[in-house]
């Protein structure tokens, strides 16, 4: 709702400048990575866990694909190995968290630095280029990210899949149960540790997959430390989308919409000529307002339900 | 549902009165704290066994061992005469053992019907296990109507229910799913008079079928005397009294609880060490 209101505001302020496809696609371009990370992250937030490494995973996965491809592996195999490697990262995050009882905040913070370091060392601090498929016009290349709408379509498809997973499967019930009352869930027979490890794996996989699409879209890889930026926007997107960090509550669609909102804000402010520096102030204010509205809204709903 | 994973034949005829569950010398410590110091207990087919004891006597710990949540440090469990060890709650449940916990294993953010089916979800489409929400909602409504539990709606979240309603759902969940043994850890603690009545009737109904054997922990003697066939008193990690309900009285039990040592070693089924030494 807030996203639509904001969208309308920018549309009116900037007229056709904002709604024309160039600008829309750049809003979506900003939002794509945030959304790709946020929709997996939301599963962990519902579990009352967090994955701070997902932003770095988003960058690490295409690097992995790039290195494998440089070493002469066929592209399909390179992508498969890259995705497997980020699943492994997720599994390590999860296993350290549930087996060694390290809080996931710490586990994944450490993992974030490790992945960043691995990329710096292995890339020798140089840009990665050319990315396979990038700039080509074949259907496969278009599908895998070259076409400007393909990334957001991938994200939408993943949003639908994860929504179904969270709301329509037994696994989804187990996620909510584990996040809502972990002792009660365990007593009722939910394998809470296994559920957590799988969610870490899913979060990494989704971030890595969208990361590959994103790298093919832009054509170069930068060894810089954008992972932290990405993950903070993604968590912001989840919060805007109504996810409670205390666990048990949150929707994948909400996280997606939250990410789009941040993208629209980032792009819209540029189009109406506000300095990009002010963007951060707006993002902060929006996150605060969204959270406050959500909490109040929940309270009103709870009151009306209990009558 | 769990029925397809039963390692025991549910229809195997067990004569009434035969031991269903035997606990032999079970011990359990948490760090330096020795909670169970050698529990011997027998649950017979179709009976309701009450467990009484002060706070900290180890009743809840015993229940959590019987339902597979904790593993015992020593001793053994026999189910229908066969030694068993439960690797998890799911595993114990596959043997037909269901539990209502003192801390109510309800999930605040899940709707009533999903709480009622938690751990027993009805699913379809094989390995992906899509929830059959319509079916679960329908069965949940039917079942709760049958046993006269009133909730605002099947889609109300547990967090919005009263304590008594939550408890009724927790008990209903276990009663619905149990097919061998039902463990009730203070099932009436948060309930008003009407709801207590409802749960007592529900448990008595289940017991009179003779199919299920029940262990119930409660502090309210009136409830216990109405529900149970037999009472075991726990104290200091041991069973200190084992008697049929009609052989004892509320007064005697109260006496026993107030001055446990004097009465218990005279009546003890299993000698306590001090008594054995004389």
| ipTM for this model | 0.79
Q: How far is A297 from chain B (nearest CA, A)?
A: 15
Is the pLDDT reported for residue B211 higher than 90?
Answer: no
pLDDT value at position B1?
39
Question: What is the C-alpha separation between A295 and A293, in angstroms, rounded?
Answer: 6
Q: Which of A180, A186, A190 sits opposite B109 (nearest CB)?
A: A180
Torsion sign across C-alpha atoms A14, A16, A19, A20? negative
pLDDT in tens, A83-105: 999 999 999 999 999 999 999 99
Three-class SS of B182-240: EEEECCCCCCCHHHHHHHHHHHHHHHHCCCCEEEEECCCHHHHHHHCCEEEEEECCEEE
pLDDT in tens, B53-66: 887 788 888 998 99
Question: Which structure tokens are listed for A78?
Answer: 């390179």
Question: What is the C-alpha separation between A225 and A218, in angstroms, rounded?
Answer: 17
Q: How far is CA B148 from CA A102, A116, A241, B156, B169, in A?
A: 46, 59, 39, 17, 11
Structural domains of chain A, with CATH: 2-306 (1.10.3470)
CB contact under 8 A, B133 and A168: yes
CATH 3.40.50.300 holds for B17-105+178-277: yes
Nearest C-alpha in A relative to B118: A188
Phi, psi (degrees; rounded to nearest 5) at B54: -65, 165
Q: Which of A173, A179, A245 to mutate to test the interface with B (most CBs of B within 10 A)?
A: A173
pLDDT in tens, B184-194: 888 777 677 77
This prediction's pTM: 0.81
| Domain segments of chain B as ranges | 17-105+178-277
pLDDT in tens, B91-111: 888 888 988 876 677 898 999
Enumerate the residues of chain B whose CB falls inside 8 A of the CB of residue A304.
Answer: none
pLDDT in tens, A121-162: 998 888 877 788 877 778 888 888 788 888 899 999 999 999
**Are the C-beta atoms of A40 and A204 separated by less than 8 Å?**
yes
First to last CA, chain A: 26
In terms of average pLDDT, the best of A24-33, B40-49, B124-133, B147-156 is B40-49
């Amino acid at each position: 709702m807030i996203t639509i209101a904001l969208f309308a505001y920018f549309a009116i302020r900037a007229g056709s400048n904002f709604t024309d496809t160039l600008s829309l696609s750049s809003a979506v371009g900003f939002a794509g990575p945030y959304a790709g990370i946020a929709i997996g992250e939301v599963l962990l937030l519902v579990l009352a866990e967090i994955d701070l490494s997902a932003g770095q995973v988003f960058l690490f996965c295409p690097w992995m694909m790039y290195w494998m491809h440089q070493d002469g592996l066929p592209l399909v195999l390179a992508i498969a190995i890259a995705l497997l490697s980020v699943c492994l990262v997720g599994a390590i995050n999860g296993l350290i968290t549930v087996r060694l009882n390290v809080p996931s905040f710490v586990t994944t913070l450490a993992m974030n630095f490790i992945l960043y370091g691995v990329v710096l060392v292995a890339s020798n601090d140089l840009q990665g280029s050319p990315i396979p498929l990038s700039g080509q016009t074949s259907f496969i290349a278009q599908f895998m990210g070259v076409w400007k709408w393909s990334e957001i379509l991938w994200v939408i498809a993943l949003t639908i899949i994860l929504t179904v997973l969270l709301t329509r499967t037994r696994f989804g019930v187990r996620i909510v149960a584990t996040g809502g009352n972990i002792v009660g869930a365990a007593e009722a027979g939910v394998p809470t540790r296994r559920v957590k490890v799988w969610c870490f794996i899913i979060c990494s996989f989704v971030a890595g997959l969208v990361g590959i699409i994103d790298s093919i879209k832009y054509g170069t890889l930068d060894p810089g430390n954008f992972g932290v930026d990405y993950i903070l926007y993604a968590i912001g997107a989840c919060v805007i989308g109504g996810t409670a960090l205390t666990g048990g509550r949150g929707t994948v669609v909400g996280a997606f919409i939250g990410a789009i909102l941040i993208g629209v804000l980032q792009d819209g402010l540029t189009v109406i000529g506000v300095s990009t520096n002010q963007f951060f102030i707006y993002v902060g204010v929006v996150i605060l307002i969204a959270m406050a509205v959500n909490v109040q809204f929940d309270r009103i709903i709870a009151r009306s339900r209990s009558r | 549902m769990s029925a397809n994973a039963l390692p025991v034949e549910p229809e195997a005829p067990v004569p009434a009165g035969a031991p269903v569950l035997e606990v032999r010398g079970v011990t359990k410590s948490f760090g330096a704290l020795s909670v169970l110091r050698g529990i011997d207990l027998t649950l017979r087919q179709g009976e309701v066994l009450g467990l009484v004891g002060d706070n900290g006597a180890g009743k809840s710990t015993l229940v959590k061992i019987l339902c597979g949540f904790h593993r015992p440090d020593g001793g053994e469990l026999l189910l229908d005469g066969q030694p068993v060890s439960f690797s998890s709650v799911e595993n114990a449940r596959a043997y037909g053992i269901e539990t209502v916990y003192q801390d109510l294993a309800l999930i605040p953010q899940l709707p009533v019907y999903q709480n009622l089916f938690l751990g027993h979800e009805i699913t379809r489409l094989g390995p992906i296990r899509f929830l059959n929400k319509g079916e679960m909602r329908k069965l949940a409504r039917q079942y709760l109507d049958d046993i006269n539990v009133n909730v605002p709606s099947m889609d109300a979240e547990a967090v919005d229910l009263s304590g008594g309603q939550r408890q009724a759902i927790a008990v209903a969940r276990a009663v619905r799913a149990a097919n061998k043994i039902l463990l009730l850890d203070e099932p009436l603690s948060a309930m008003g008079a009407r709801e207590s009545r409802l749960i007592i009737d529900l448990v008595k109904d289940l017991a009179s079928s003779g199919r299920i054997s029940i262990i119930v922990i409660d502090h309210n003697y009136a409830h216990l005397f109405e529900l149970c066939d037999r009472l075991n008193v726990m104290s200091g990690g041991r069973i200190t009294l084992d008697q049929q309900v009609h052989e004892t009285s509320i007064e005697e039990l109260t006496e026993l609880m107030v001055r446990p040592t004097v009465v218990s070693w005279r009546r003890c089924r299993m000698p306590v060490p001090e008594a054995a030494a004389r």
